[in-house]
Structure 1
Amino acid sequence: MAAGVVNIRRDVDDKFYRYRMPLLMTKIEGKGNGIKTVIPNMSDVAHALSRPPTYPTKFFGSELGAQTSIDEKNDRYIVNGAHDAARLRELLDAFIDKFVLCAACKNPETDLILTKNEMIVRDCKACGVRSNIDMRHKLATYIIKNPPKKKGKGKKKGDGGHAEAPTPPGGDLISGGADRSSGSPDGDEGAESDDELTRRLKAEAAELNPEATLAKEDWSADTSPEAVKARMGALSAGVAGIALTNGGEADSDEDVDSPYSQLGRWTQENPGISAVEVFKKVQDLGLEKKHKAVQVLVQTLFTEDIVTEIPKYMPVFVKLVSSEKHQKALLGGVERFVGLTHPDLIPTIPKILMPFYQADVLDEEVVTQWGTHVSKKYVDKDTSKKVRKASEPFLKWLAEADDDDEEDDDE
């Protein structure tokens, strides 16, 4: 049976209260020492609160003194032991009070912000008050070490903090405000994801003053005949090898007429294109499930300003990267982009990897394995070593975060 919808603040009886969430549901599984409580609609509840589902799950574990199990890929959130729904709903109310509601106006429309000294504050979009979170709570440590998914809303324009690495950046916007909608708890976000992506990006584009944008931005390409010829010459050589690098084997049939080469040329010939246009082009070419398309986009979509451009195109990679093979192709594209095309950007590897990791496009295990194994699949051995050497600060940050998590679990 589907869960009902309740007010985010369950102490508010007003049926027209605009901040709503699904009623938290629970399911007991297992027997004896293996008994556990599964929360089947944790993702829906967390989405309504605009917080990652890992946060309330970890909060429950901390408050109950129980181990938690989180499988984000399969959308399973578990608290060890048998806990009834009423108890977990009470704890959810406590989580909302401590980590969602504004301390001043009690409005749930807040962002979580990390300050430079690694304090977490709730920034209320309703009244403008910033209120501190109790940093003594175990969840505060977890939040600092585990920034949530980025949604690409672009609320903090000019804030490049979320692309900084290797440490979680100070002043970084790490979660959006609460969901105002009172839609069905079952939700159909997955079915409408394309429309939501289109609406969001078009809305952001509509807010920009085209003249001011062109005057201030430096992403417009030199369209002189000489520049175009030079770009196309480099592209012909580069793109021809993009899709062909597959375990060191080249396919002579996949050259300038292959869909991958067409995609690469199109992105190069259309600088400044939107994320929506890129995804539609990938679909038109029938490449939305092809991991090589990810490699092509990394190599041809970005410029030397890749660090600031990644947030703009992150929705494309969120939709395209669906397997470990896709992730490895993305990392291979990064290797070729910085190793062959822009070697001066090799030191920025941590800043390039961090936003992809924070958006859950790259998994920790895949990045770690890549960073510790030199490969000649995409670039020569020396270049591969340089790229991985540059990634060490990011890999160290990942390892230290893991060590701290294990210590917390042991406690």
Structure 2
Amino acid sequence: MALVNVRRDVTDAFYRYKMERIQTKIEGKGNGIKTVVVNLSSVAQSLARPGSYVIKYFGFELGAQTNIDPPDDRWIINGAHEASKLQDHLDGFINKFVLCKKCKNPETDVVIKDGRIVLDCKACGQRTDVDLRLKLSGFILKNQPKKGGKKDKAERKAARKAKQQALQNGNKENGQGSGGENSENGSNGSGDKNEDEDDAGSDDEFTRKINADAQVIDAPAVVRDDDWAVDMSEKAVKARQSQLPSEFRQKLVLGGGDEDDDEGEGGGHTVYDTLGDWIQEEAAKADSINKVDDIQIYVKAKELGIETKHKTVLVLVQTLFDENILTQIPKRAAMLKQIITSERHEKALLGGLERLLAAQGKEHPELLTSDKIVKILHQLYDKDLVSEDVIKKWGSKASKKYVDLATSKKIRRAAEPFIKWLDEAEEDSDEE
């Protein structure tokens, strides 16, 4: 996944504001040719602007028709347009509708009042007007975010997090902090270290590591004989792998009726099997899945060309987590957020979770209880790995896509208290 600075005129590799480079896919031919902006939602989220603003800006600049509210996250511009050209137009959007006019910082909110569009900078406090003569200004005035929309949900989520943190701080005085809650699920680093580990695993930190290791991604791997202190022969690795818990030895189940079969998943060994096998081998070498490095995992996925695929999320959930998932999610969250860029990725995350719970539940039945599943969903939600809407849709109907129908129903019944909590919090926010 290619990341660039939000301000491309800034060459500092450690510039904190990053976004994905625009990715496009040309479809159709003749008069029906069109350009799909594959990752527009992710780019718009990095800029804290609705995707409709960005796609409409492209339409105005290119003189082409666009769709502004796609239900399937397929943002389309009529005609064939190169990604580099769209990236240049995006710079114009950022300069006019995102950057603070005083400090040139992208930490701004759009405030619409009395027919004016104001950029409220959270960094320096400056409030500046957007030029109303711009074509997109008229569109923004006519398409203000509706109450109860995504921005409102984000605000509600922030409020819920604040309340939850307040409760946790109160519990810590009695020795029942968030680390204590998860410590019953394993002793692999939970407790007082959780806060530091979360900071070390932040998005910015992971991005810095990716940038620092960028040359490693494209460079051939060089392994010296003195790098390893253990026998790394194929026979030795397989012997250690056979001693791992059964969840690491089991074959990954990647099928399940997914309509996107463009990688040939249905026949023979696939790149996803390769990634899963590699993670299991690395876990065998390190004697623990928790010691397999996030950067190495991301680099391997990039080598295989699947770092942007939603099925990669399915593999990672089944290989990186075990019965200690509650303490493992915070440590893997930064890396997973780099890969999870759409609703489809989020659905794959929940599908992988279903398969993991079904497999682990045989030896650890407590994972299938309502208490555990609610806590797991809380972790995924709090770490912004899955959205409120996707969780609600997932919980509304059982599916046999990833596991058998009976298990799917059992997992969703156990998740009901969390979904009810989301509904009640939304109702409370609406009343306020």
TM-score (norm 2): 0.48
CA distance in 1 between counterparts of 2:100 and 2:406 reads: 56
Aligned pairs (5 A) from 1:316-335: 316-335=335-354
Asked whether 1:263 is paired with 2:287, we answer no
Asked whether 1:346 is paired with 2:368, we answer yes
Q: 1:278 aligns with which of 294, 297, 301?
A: 297
How many equivalent residue pairs?
Answer: 260
Q: 1:315 aligns with which of 324, 329, 334?
A: 334
Q: Which residue of 1 aligns with 2:415?
A: 391
CA distance in 1 between counterparts of 2:243 and 2:260 reads: 27
Asked whether 1:371 is paired with 2:384, we answer no
Q: Which residue of 1 aligns with 2:32?
A: none
Kept after mapping to 1: 8 A contact 2:241/2:249: no
Asked whether 1:194 is paired with 2:207, we answer yes
Q: Which residue of 1 aligns with 2:165?
A: 114
Asked whether 1:355 is paired with 2:379, we answer yes
Question: Which AA in structure 2 matches 1:355?
Answer: Q
Asked whether 1:401 is paired with 2:425, we answer yes
Question: Which AA in structure 2 matches 1:270?
Answer: E
Q: Which residue of 2 aligns with 1:291?
A: 310
Asked whether 1:159 is paired with 2:171, we answer no
Question: Which AA in structure 1 matches 2:165?
Answer: L
Per-residue deviation, residues 43-70 of structure 1 (Å, max 9, x unmatched):
x669xxxxxxxxxxxxxxxxxxxx9787
Asked whether 1:228 is paired with 2:237, we answer no
Coordinate RMSD, CA, aligned: 4.9
3-state SS of paired residue (2:251): helix
Per-residue deviation, residues 226-254 of structure 1 (Å, max 9, x unmatched):
66237698767632x31554169999764
Return closer, same or farther for 1:232/1:196 CA change in 2, 3 Å cut-off: closer
Kept after mapping to 2: 8 A contact 1:327/1:366: yes
Question: Which AA in structure 2 matches 1:382?
Answer: A
Question: Which AA in structure 1 matches 2:306?
Answer: L
CA distance in 2 between counterparts of 1:26 and 1:332 reads: 34
CA distance in 2 between counterparts of 1:233 and 1:256 reads: 23
Return closer, same or farther for 1:388/1:263 CA change in 2, 3 Å cut-off: same
- Percentage of pairs with the same residue: 29
Question: Which AA in structure 1 matches 2:277?
Answer: R
3-state SS of paired residue (1:39): strand
Higher helix share: 2
Q: 1:39 aligns with which of 98, 113, 119?
A: 119
Q: Which residue of 1 aligns with 2:233?
A: none
Per-residue deviation, residues 353-389 of structure 1 (Å, max 9, x unmatched):
1122112221101101101111111011100011101
3-state SS of paired residue (1:159): helix
Extract unaligned runs of 5+ from structure 1.
6-20, 47-66, 78-110, 122-129, 131-156, 165-170, 178-188, 201-222
- Deviation for aligned residue 1:194: 2.2
- Deviation for aligned residue 1:262: 0.8
Return closer, same or farther for 1:396/1:261 CA change in 2, 3 Å cut-off: same
Q: Which fold has the larger relative contact order, with Cα–Cα distance below 8 Å and residues 6 or more apart in sequence?
A: 1
Kept after mapping to 2: 8 A contact 1:113/1:120: no
Q: Which residue of 2 aligns with 1:98?
A: none
Return closer, same or farther for 1:316/1:72 CA change in 2, 3 Å cut-off: farther
CA distance in 2 between counterparts of 1:163 and 1:364 reads: 26
Return closer, same or farther for 1:297/1:37 CA change in 2, 3 Å cut-off: same
CA distance in 2 between counterparts of 1:198 and 1:23 reads: 21
Kept after mapping to 1: 8 A contact 2:323/2:360: no
- Deviation for aligned residue 1:295: 0.7
Extract unaligned runs of 5+ from structure 2.
1-98, 126-145, 156-161, 185-191, 214-235, 284-290
